[in-house]
Amino acid sequence: MTWIEANLEQNVHLATVSRHIDCLQLSFRLTNGRPMPKSMTEENYVQQYYECVLKLHNEGFFKWDPKKIVCIDCCTNLRRLEREKTISLKGAKPKKFSAAKAIYTNTYVVAVCLEDEGQYPALMFTHDPAFDSNGPRAAEVQKWFDEMDIERDRVIYTPGGKKYNYESSAMIAHFKNVYRKELAGTRVIHDGGNSFKIDGEFILADGADRLEILPSATHGELSPLDNKINAIAKNQWRTERSGDDFSKQDLYLLWCFDWAEPAAIKSCWTQNFMLDVKKLSLTATMDRLRGKKFSRGKIMEKYIAAYESWREEQGQGMQESEFKALESNLDGSYWSK
């Protein structure tokens, strides 16, 4: 609405904009926080993605009990990219906001299966003394656990005065100890981060039927957690968390990881590893990554061309940064639902 008023000098209602967005097959989406490596071309990126998926298909990785195929990842509750919004006069300087800042950054270890039945409830690792089972807030915090139906031992508190509980091999080792029985005989997928290793050996390889390490450049889009489930959970967390107690909000994020529906999780696996494609090819992979398989690519190209033409009519050329901002490396059926 603001853009239309500033550029076309027309006032439109929110409902009108919403209706047109729907008709044009547009949507509001989170931007991609994992850009392609600078040294890698799009062709090389697609090739690496394709080779990884092809290898898994050819070696029958997914011809296994879907309840025993698991992806594992770590993420945090960082709020540094979040900014408060408020109403202000046009042309005025942005208002300064002096709200309280979160002190503690936690790490969450999350795992999902191809056919997910909540086999691996996420774990939270924190230095926040609110979660000290013998601390002054123990009774209050226990009520949060009861309200959210979360077992208290899923939060691992480590004292010591630190603020940031960095991802580490000790966390993955703890995760393995907790779910050792469930992990036996599984086919595991995760990235090649050092937190998954001890003395150069992958922690989760022991006891697994097979361990697959995702390529460094493309793992962010291949992983159903890194690319989709974690983002969905954190988006829900940002949207629905309430109150001003950061500790309670952080526990709610743990609940959000449990909230993902099995059908949605399976859809992420299917989309990322192209389980719905009968014959894999570089072209099919390019189409999947660009979203052209779902006929949106040409529509987007038409919109970009129209916008570029309009900009030229205004005596303003399109900047390279604008084109890059429009790029989408992964699109498709998820966004059409």
Residue at token pair 């494609």: 277
Q: Which of the 8 DSSP states describes residue 133? A: T
Q: For residue 269, what are its two tokens?
A: 């696996």
* Local structure of 254: helix, strand or coil: helix
Name, of 83-87, 95-99, 144-148, 308-312, the range with top average pLDDT.
144-148
pLDDT range class, residue 243, cuts 50, 70, 90: confident
* Spatial contact of 163 and 103, defined as CB atoms under 8 Å apart: yes
Q: For residue 75, what are its two tokens?
A: 């993420």
Q: For residue 5, what are its two tokens?
A: 């008023």
* Local structure of 241: helix, strand or coil: coil
Name, of 15-19, 32-36, 56-60, 331-335, the range with top average pLDDT.
56-60
Q: Indicate if the pLDDT at residue 304 is higher than 80.
A: no
Residue-range domain boundaries for the chain: 1-30, 63-77+100-276
Lowest mean pLDDT among 85-99, 109-123, 147-161, 227-241: 85-99
The bridge status of strand 201-202 relative to strand 69-76 is unpaired
Specify which residues 155 forms β-bridges with. Answer: 124
The bridge status of strand 69-76 relative to strand 187-190 is parallel
Cα radius of gyration (the chain) = 23
Specify which residues 72 forms β-bridges with. Answer: 111
- Phi and psi angles of residue 2, each rounded to the nearest 5 degrees, phi first: -65, -40
Residues 8-54 pLDDT 10s = 888 998 888 888 888 887 776 544 445 566 677 888 999 999 999 99
Q: Which helix (H) or strand (E) holds 72?
A: strand 69-76
Residues 125-168 pLDDT 10s = 999 999 999 999 999 999 999 999 999 999 999 998 889 999 99
Q: Which of the 8 DSSP states describes residue 9? A: -
Q: How far is CA 24 from the centre of its chain?
A: 26
How big is the CA angle at 109 (ends 108 and 115), to the nearest 5 degrees?
Answer: 125
CATH of 63-77+100-276, one of 3.30.70, 2.30.30, 3.30.1490, 3.30.420: 3.30.420
Residue 203: partners with Cβ closer than 8 Å, 6 or more residues away: 169, 172, 173, 176, 196, 197
* Spatial contact of 43 and 37, defined as CB atoms under 8 Å apart: no
pLDDT range class, residue 332, cuts 50, 70, 90: very low
Per-residue confidence (pLDDT) for residue 284, from 0 to 100: 92
- Phi and psi angles of residue 157, each rounded to the nearest 5 degrees, phi first: -95, 130
Q: In the chain, what is the greatest distance between 2 CA atoms, to the nearest angstrom?
A: 68
**178-200 average pLDDT score:** 96
Residue at token pair 């601390």: 135
pLDDT range class, residue 89, cuts 50, 70, 90: low
| Distances from the Cα of 204 to the Cα of 50, 109, 173, 193, angstroms | 25, 13, 8, 12
